[in-house]
Amino acid sequence: MSEQKSSRKIGKVYLVGAGPGDPGLITVRGKYLLERAEVVVYDYLASPKLLKHVPEEAELIYAGKKGGVKHTHTQEEINQMLVDWAKEGKTVVRLKGGDPFIFGRGGEEVEVLAGTGVDFEVVPGVTSATAAATYAGIPITHREHTASVAFLTGHEDPTKPGSNIDWAKLATGAGTLVIYMGIKNLPIIVKNLVANGRDPKTPVAVVRWASTPEQRTVVGTLETIADIVREAAIKPPALIIVGDVVTLRDKIDWFEKRPLFGKRIVVTRTREQASELMAGLEENGANCLEYSTIKIEAVDSYEELDEELERIQEYHWILFTSLHGVRYFFDRLYGKGLDTRSLNGPGIAAVGKATADLLLKYGVRADLLPTVFTGEGLAETLLDQGVEGRNILIPRAEKAREILPETLRGAGAQVTVTPVYKNVAPEGKRVQLRDELEAGKVDMVTFTSSSTVRNFLGMVDAKDSSDLKRLMHNVVIAAIGPITAKTVTDNGLKVDIQPESYTIPDMVQEIVKHYT
């Protein structure tokens, strides 16, 4: 009996601060808990990018809560939901924007939990006030400017009697004021501060969507900021920072000054490959629009590869022309209970450095790497070695360019091409991409292979070449190498950026150069 009892899982609710927006600003503890969550209840201000940490089988519940917009769930419903899941024995993460205990109603949620005896833990987060200040280049305290800071809500109408905020004391009581939820009431707030003795010339910054690629900052004084915000049409979520420290932004604004800040760049790669390019671009401030044009899948049957693996010792060369080729080849090899020892006969060639690096991770050092990292380059380097009468295996995509096998065959080699994976273009995001292009919201499109070009064009689905030209009129095009570039020009478009060596870091560098 007691055994049964102890095996029953006890639920727990973790109230986790998601940080201000940049998904990198969650705590280590917060990420750890997301990775183990069975239920995640998240709201509007918590970055959706954090959800990638959550196990696939976990339940995701959007709790909404956007000022002015109808709430998806009432606070009572959310509280009840947390209690119910925990009582079912689930590990629940309640993910809240910024810090749960700073204007996040985290206190109320935890009070309810405590009242019902449900176990809970609270993980603090980077609150948007400090993030907004930091990412706008404003130190909220500074020895030469202020030694005190106050966080307040601007949600309450300051003129309403019985306000919880003592504006008369706060107006001059703290050197820096950071006001949450104050955009709607901004005109009344600034009037009130001045009426209570704050110098009308006090600098003020308003920061919207702080720490995200959409961040926008405007600066004025207590006298001018309300008009500036109205004219710039700044909407929530935004923070108001009042105090002399705002002047320091002129010197130390770093986030919005990064070379690619505000640039909307379409990244068209396979889902797994997209990360390296995106990381490089985002590091420089770009807003990456990820259109994973290709999905990689296993081929329907591995019969062909299996046969080749049986007679692998008969080959003089195995050529790996892509990362996926390596991955799927070795997964099958190991899957069959074999290992790298069965490859000790043939020479191994890789098309480029990344492919060679991946091979090494699988325990195989490439014997041959071309000087130019393309299929043609590889063919040329092999021809230099002499391929006549040689048996060559190329494990690769189901559909790929024929130039490499044809060149080798032309020189008298016996070439076997074995499909180990396939490229599939997904439907989903077509409409969205087209809309972004129509609205002129795309600054650049990046292509890292000919198939990304073809799939991109498939997604754009232009009526004809003049329609395509119109859509791409102001869009900069970056292509990783000459083959990809040729596919772009063959389709009537112009390539603006092409790195000298065909690697992702070089491509990122060229893109940065283009904008600086």
Q: Which residues belong to the active site? A: 43, 65, 181
Please, what is the minimum distance in Å from the beta carbon of residue 260 to ligand SAH? 20
List the one residue out of 214, 215, 217, 171 whose CA is nearest residue 192.
171
Which member of 25, 34, 40, 45 binds ligand SAH (CB under 6 A)? 45
128 lines the binding site for ligand SAH (CB under 6 A) = yes
Residues binding ligand SAH: what is the number (CB under 6 A)?
25
Identify which of residues 210 and 319 has a Cβ nearer to ligand SAH in the complex: 210
CB of 416 to ligand SAH, least distance (A): 55
Cβ atoms 47, 19 nearer than 8 A: yes
21 binds ligand SAH (CB under 6 A): yes
Residue 452 burial (10 A CB sphere; 0-12, 13-18, 19+): buried
**How far is it, in rounded angstroms, from Cα 488 to Cα 457?**
10
* CB-based burial label for 143 (10 Å; 0-12, 13-18, 19+): exposed
Per the CB < 8 A criterion, the answer to whether 163 and 156 are in contact is: yes
SS3 180: strand
Binding status of residue 132 toward ligand SAH by CB under 6 A: yes
> Is 317 in a helix, a strand, or coil?
strand
Q: Which of residues 450-479 bind ligand SAH (CB under 6 A)?
A: none
| Span 57-86, contacts to ligand SAH by CB under 6 A | 67
Q: Does 104 bind ligand SAH (CB under 6 A)?
A: yes
Q: Which of 91, 127, 451, 484 is close enough to bind ligand SAH by CB under 6 A? A: 127
CB of 246 to ligand SAH, least distance (A): 15
Instruction: Report if residue 236 touches ligand SAH, rule: CB under 6 A.
Output: yes
Applying CB under 6 A, among 13, 14, 20, 264 the residue interacting with ligand SAH is 20
Smallest Cα–Cα separation from 82: which of 71, 68, 96?
Answer: 96
Neighbours of 509 (CB within 10 A): 15
The vertex-109 CA angle with 123 and 45, nearest 5°, equals: 65
Q: Which residues pair with 182 in a beta bridge?
A: none
Task: For ligand SAH, give the closer residue by CB, 104 or 213.
Answer: 104
SS3 318: strand
Q: Which is nearer to ligand SAH, 47 or 273 (CB)?
A: 47
Instruction: Specify the residue, 130 or 292, whose C-beta has the smaller distance to ligand SAH.
Output: 130
Q: How far apart are CB 113 and ligand SAH at their closest, in Å?
A: 18
Residue nearest to ligand SAH (CB): 98
Nearer to ligand SAH, 180 or 302 (CB): 180
Residue whose CB is less far from ligand SAH, 85 or 103: 103
Question: Closest separation between CB of residue 209 and ligand SAH, Å?
Answer: 5
Strand order in the sheet with 476-479: 287-290, 264-268, 444-447, 476-479
CB of 361 to ligand SAH, least distance (A): 38
238 binds ligand SAH (CB under 6 A): yes
The residues facing 479 across adjacent strands are: 447
Q: Please, what sign has the CA dihedral across residues 379, 385, 391, 394?
A: negative
By CB under 6 A, residue 97 contacts ligand SAH: yes
Least distance from ligand SAH to the Cβ atom of residue 371, Å: 48
The interface mask with ligand SAH, positions 182-211, x = CB under 6 A, is -------------------------xxxxx
Number of Cβ atoms within 10 Å of the Cβ of 295? 14
Q: Which helix (H) or strand (E) holds 414?
A: strand 414-424
CA separation for the pair 513, 497 (Å, rounded): 10
Please tell me whether residue 239 binds ligand SAH under the rule CB under 6 A: yes
- The two tokens of residue 330 are 């070795």
Which residues contact residue 492 at a Cβ distance below 8 angstroms, ignoring those fewer than 6 apart?
Answer: 465, 468, 469
Nearer to ligand SAH, 67 or 200 (CB): 67
Residues that bind ligand SAH (CB under 6 A): 20-21, 45, 67, 96-99, 102-104, 127-128, 132, 180-181, 207-211, 236-239
